[in-house]
Structure 1
Amino acid sequence: MDRFLWTRGNGIDTLALGRLRAHFPKPAAPMGEAWFMGAERRMFSDLLGNLDEIAVRELQECFAEIASGTRSFGPMEEWKTWYHYLLAALLPRSHEACFSYLLESLMTGFMAIYPNGVSREPYEGFREDVLLTLGRCMMDGMCWNGTDIAIGNILRQSNDNPNRVWLWWDASGDFSASMFFCLKYLPESLVEPWLRSVFDIPSPHWRAQVVVWLVGAHGILNDTMRWPSEFSLEARPYIGWEWSHCLEARLTVVDDSGAPPVAALVPEAARTATLDVVRSYFSEDRFLEWVTCIATVPYLEAELAEIPSTFATLYVR
């Protein structure tokens, strides 16, 4: 793969999705839970039926078992087999949500199974197919309404709460997981052009999330923090996502792929490239343009409050 960009409307690649589905058929035996105390283990037998009839919350529970189980007990062929099938089958439903987006669970499961990178592909071209599908979900046509996001389909879902706030001061889980996913698995040569494509999207909501995520991710990017398990729920901005606390260094040493353990979620080359691109992209004039754009949506400006100033201190030269 010599090109990977985020372009609005250019989401899941249908040919890559077809290859994933061809290589990962439905397993014959049901998937079991990770945590059980007695003689009888819960089995997710419903997964053997029609996945379209299973609610997103139940599907999220399955991915939670895969991620938490792999972290605590090490990799199991059963969970790997089921994860790959569910990934291929459920990618078109990635933007469905119950408190969090299904996309977040898909991302966490992949990172738990491939903590040291995709060194042993289930089939030739697998990593590229995953990047062209899971890695591009945020660009699906349903996520965009012209130049702006389709509100409620990606990023913050609603302000249906007593205080009528959207929580734009935190990174939405689908965005944060997708950013880390691409930084972790993209070939080094593709990181810079991909990041520039992320920054070139003019949506005020999107730009607000980029600013928030870069402030929250500063610890990862400057190597003072290495794994999502270190994210604090009290952080402002918070950049965790569904079950991201399962992603920790332990996964790298129990991984049975034969790959050497990595030191951090994001490779050093990707971290360095990100900092270089951010600092070269955000001149004072460019940053002012972004702040002005964000301010066209009053609730964005109000909820971000001091975060753009923090961004300027960290990145604008």
Structure 2
Amino acid sequence: MSENLATSPYFWVPGIGPSAQALQRLRALVRLPRRAMGEAWFMSEERRLFSGLMDEDPLRWRQDELDSALFELSSGPGSFGARREWLVWFGFLLPRAQTLIGDGKAPCFSGRWLHGALATATFVHCPDPGFPNLPLHVRRDLLDTLARTLFAAQHWNHGRVAPNPFFQPLGNSPHHGFYFDGGDALAASCLLVLKYLDAELIDGWLVSALGISDPNWRAAFVVWLAGSAPLIVDAAYPGRLSHSDQYPATWQHDHLIHAPTSPSTSDSAEISFIDPQRRHAFLSALRRQLDRSRLRRWQQELTASSDLLHGFDYARRQYETAAELVIERYGLS
């Protein structure tokens, strides 16, 4: 991949999902390791090895073993330091496990869980958004695969989110009835973009994200903005995210992502999950593109599209309060 292609504009378009070519390039980076990965946390004399993953074909993996391995390689570095073993296995698992999220052909490995776990593993093992010591294409290939998963064609129907078990912006709870979900795949995907996309490309990406016409998508995005304010406005790490039902914006294993213990800069205030340049680019773009008038118009369209839904009161109030919080926290006009 040339440098021009790696830094070309980046958009989210319903129906344009992960790039098969990018996924193949990521697969080619790391072959099957010679030794099975070992667990990070153990008290017995023998360390558990994930030998069932010693297979190039992910369809032969067991879900419980993959789940455990992703947790171990994401939780281990924070307590025991970076180990080549976990980094190599992360590089091997990342592109192959993505094919298990569910494309209508392969069995679905609890896609919502798996997508979030892969995002967390990426944030843990690639804390530097510049991807030092890796080929130029890797960062963009990651954005063209894992960050595009929720836009696969089978998840959309004429610009609206189609019913699917992986991603639903409008959920239904026995406690509240309908509610908007800004967490899981949506939250992880947005933060993959904010952390790794070049700052000068964030404005174009946000135009595409806010331009998606599905009223439920827009409402879930606003809920994500409300829940993610600590990361974007306050420069915090995911541990500051709330796990309340009001503004869901968390994803699988996000609590395993920690700030570096030995910051590379003397100014500790500059240590944040999303670097200052990208946060500032996002905030500037958001203030240009979103305002009280647009949020009110979305609310009207949302109400019109939900008139026939019983039990929509909570979702309607949720959007209204989220929109007010977003206006306040992000300084929208």
User: Does the 8 Å CA contact 2:40/2:72 hold for their aligned counterparts?
Assistant: yes
Gaps of 5+ in 2: 1-6, 103-107
User: Does the 8 Å CA contact 1:10/1:141 hold for their aligned counterparts?
Assistant: yes
Counterpart residue number, 1:93: 100
Instruction: Indicate which of 36, 40, 43 corresponds to 2:42.
Output: 36
CA RMSD of aligned residues (A): 2.6
For residue 275 of structure 1, report the CA deviation from its aligned partner: 1.7
Residues 131-210 of structure 1 aligned to structure 2 (within 5 Å): 131-156=143-168, 162-163=174-175, 165-168=177-180, 170-210=181-221
Gaps of 5+ in 1: none
Counterpart residue number, 2:324: 309
SS in 1 for 2:10: coil
- TM-score with structure 1 setting the length: 0.88
For residue 161 of structure 1, report the CA deviation from its aligned partner: 5.7
Deviations 1:180-233 (A, max 9, x none): 11101011111110111110001122111111011112222222x410012232
Counterpart residue number, 2:239: 229
- Cα 1:157/1:183, change in 2 over 3 Å: closer
User: Does the 8 Å CA contact 1:249/1:264 hold for their aligned counterparts?
Assistant: yes
Distance in 1 of aligned mates of 2:217 and 2:170: 15
For residue 121 of structure 1, report the CA deviation from its aligned partner: 3.7
Do residues 111 (structure 1) and 123 (structure 2) align?
Answer: yes
Counterpart residue number, 2:105: none
The farther-off stretch of 34-43 and 231-240 is 231-240
Distance in 2 of aligned mates of 1:160 and 1:212: 15
Do residues 211 (structure 1) and 222 (structure 2) align?
Answer: yes
For residue 75 of structure 1, report the CA deviation from its aligned partner: 1.1
Distance in 2 of aligned mates of 1:109 and 1:254: 20
Deviations 1:256-295 (A, max 9, x none): xxxx996111111221122222222123432222112222
Counterpart residue number, 2:59: 52
SS in 2 for 1:208: helix
Do residues 126 (structure 1) and 138 (structure 2) align?
Answer: yes
Distance in 1 of aligned mates of 2:276 and 2:32: 37
- Cα 1:263/1:54, change in 2 over 3 Å: same
Do residues 276 (structure 1) and 273 (structure 2) align?
Answer: no
User: Does the 8 Å CA contact 1:156/1:172 hold for their aligned counterparts?
Assistant: no
User: Does the 8 Å CA contact 2:194/2:274 hold for their aligned counterparts?
Assistant: yes
For residue 57 of structure 1, report the CA deviation from its aligned partner: 4.5
Do residues 248 (structure 1) and 251 (structure 2) align?
Answer: no
User: Does the 8 Å CA contact 1:57/1:98 hold for their aligned counterparts?
Assistant: no
Counterpart residue number, 2:16: 10
- TM-score with structure 2 setting the length: 0.84
Distance in 1 of aligned mates of 2:82 and 2:272: 19
User: Does the 8 Å CA contact 1:56/1:102 hold for their aligned counterparts?
Assistant: no
Instruction: Indicate which of 61, 64, 68 corresponds to 2:71.
Output: 64
Percent of aligned positions that are identical: 27
Distance in 1 of aligned mates of 2:200 and 2:244: 35
- Cα 1:158/1:212, change in 2 over 3 Å: closer
Counterpart residue number, 2:86: 79
- Cα 1:241/1:193, change in 2 over 3 Å: same
The farther-off stretch of 229-238 and 40-49 is 229-238
